[in-house]
Amino acid sequence: MMDTWKNRKYEMIVIGSSAGGIDALKRVLARLKAPFGPAIVVIQHIAPTAHTSIADFFKEVCSLPVKEAEDKEPVAGGVIYFAPAGYHLLVEKSRTFALSVDSPVHFARPSIDVFMESAAEVYKEKCAGFVLTGANNDGADGLKSIQQVGGMIVVQNPRSAEFKSMPEAALQATETSFVFSLQEIEDLMTSLG
């Protein structure tokens, strides 16, 4: 069954993480090499007062281009985008990014759910969503939205997550048999390019 999902040509991969996410993301993203077809959007909870862009940190560890998503910017395949601190990130039907200062969702801005729900609406079955380690339930509703339009959803096994709350909430909200260790997620991600 996994082969069916792996053979699909995805246009959008969304990764949501929170507490413990930086280390998990380093492992998953550092192995990706060009050419890589889909766009990758990372929603990592980060304090709105952060003085440094998380994208700047990942530029040092990734071989794919890395940048902070900008308002009205067209989405490009093969690029790793990070949601900026203090803003919700969305993707519009025109496949451009939009930034919002709407109220936090699950105490977070950027919210994983907000972006995943917009990506599901735009990319449908060509969207894949991943929820990694985290200490709240953000991402559960977003994964459910991706699943409802036929996209692939993957949850980090709570036993391998530094913080289990987000993966556990995602598993309660969805029906997925793709519950993988971080190593398995790394391997899967490299195969999706």
**pLDDT tens by residue, 8-51:** 899 999 999 999 999 999 999 999 999 999 999 999 988 766 66
State the number of CA atoms in the 13 A half-sphere of 168 facing the CB.
11
Task: Clarify whether 88 is annotated catalytic.
Answer: no
The single residue of 17, 106, 111, 138 carrying the catalytic annotation is 138
- What pLDDT score was predicted for residue 61? 93
Give per-residue pLDDT as tens, 122-169.
999 999 999 999 999 999 999 999 999 999 999 999 999 999 999 999
Task: Give the CA diameter of the chain.
Answer: 44
Task: Clarify whether 106 is annotated catalytic.
Answer: no
Mean pLDDT of the chain: 92
Rounded distance between C-alpha atoms, residue 57 and residue 117, angstroms: 27
State the number of CA atoms in the 13 A half-sphere of 152 facing the CB.
25
